[in-house]
């Protein structure tokens, strides 16, 4: 393990939908599961979809670079080619984007490719990519 892995547990309204979305569309291999939760390998990190319909979904946004960004969200930082391939895959699947794939903070420290979309339970995900790794935490 090169860097520590994170673990994230989040609510979903339906485990079959979560399996189809995270396992099918996003291609995250499934790990352990029960009748109430399922683990996924999310780009080397462990995420766990817990059946809890009343807690699922995003509710608030903050303005960031001209967009209303869902406050509660998670995702991954991919390489630019991985990000572009995922954006193409999501578009081909008819994904409705909260924020369309775009470049944020162009010409500034932290310039990044980003996109936001919702899982079937309404949980917001952001995937981003940086041309250079040192830009991830640039001020």
In the chain, where the domains are located: 7-53, 61-135
- The Cα–Cα gap between 14 and 36 comes to 9
pTM over 0.85: yes
Q: What pLDDT, on a 0 to 100 scale, did the predictor assign at position 88? A: 98
Q: What pLDDT, on a 0 to 100 scale, did the predictor assign at position 134? A: 87
Q: What pLDDT, on a 0 to 100 scale, did the predictor assign at position 130? A: 95
Q: What pLDDT, on a 0 to 100 scale, did the predictor assign at position 1? A: 61
Q: What pLDDT, on a 0 to 100 scale, did the predictor assign at position 74? A: 96
Radius of gyration, CA atoms only, the chain: 15
Q: What pLDDT, on a 0 to 100 scale, did the predictor assign at position 15? A: 98
**Which of 62, 112, 93 has its CA nearest to residue 101?**
112
Q: What pLDDT, on a 0 to 100 scale, did the predictor assign at position 65? A: 79
Q: What pLDDT, on a 0 to 100 scale, did the predictor assign at position 84? A: 97
The CATH superfamily of 7-53 is: 2,3-Dihydroxybiphenyl 1,2-Dioxygenase, domain 1 (3.10.180.10)
**Can you name the CATH fold of 61-135?**
2,3-Dihydroxybiphenyl 1,2-Dioxygenase; domain 1 (3.10.180)
Q: What pLDDT, on a 0 to 100 scale, did the predictor assign at position 52? A: 96
**Fold match flag (7-53 vs 61-135):** yes
pLDDT along the chain (139 residues), means of 10: 89 97 97 98 97 90 86 94 97 96 90 96 96 87
- The Cα–Cα gap between 23 and 4 comes to 23
């Amino acid at each position: 393990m090169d860097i520590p892995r994170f673990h994230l547990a989040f609510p979903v309204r339906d485990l079959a939908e979560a399996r189809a979305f995270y396992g099918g569309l996003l291609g995250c291999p499934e790990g352990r599961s029960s009748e109430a939760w399922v683990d996924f390998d999310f780009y080397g990190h462990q995420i766990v979809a817990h059946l809890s319909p009343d807690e699922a979904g995003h509710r608030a946004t903050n303005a960031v670079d001209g967009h209303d960004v869902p406050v509660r969200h998670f995702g991954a930082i991919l390489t630019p080619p991985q990000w572009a391939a995922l954006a193409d895959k999501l578009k081909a699947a008819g994904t409705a984007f909260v924020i369309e794939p775009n470049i944020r903070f162009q010409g500034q420290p932290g310039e990044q490719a980003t996109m936001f979309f919702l899982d079937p339970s309404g949980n917001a995900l952001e995937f981003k990519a940086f041309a250079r790794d040192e830009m991830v935490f640039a001020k």
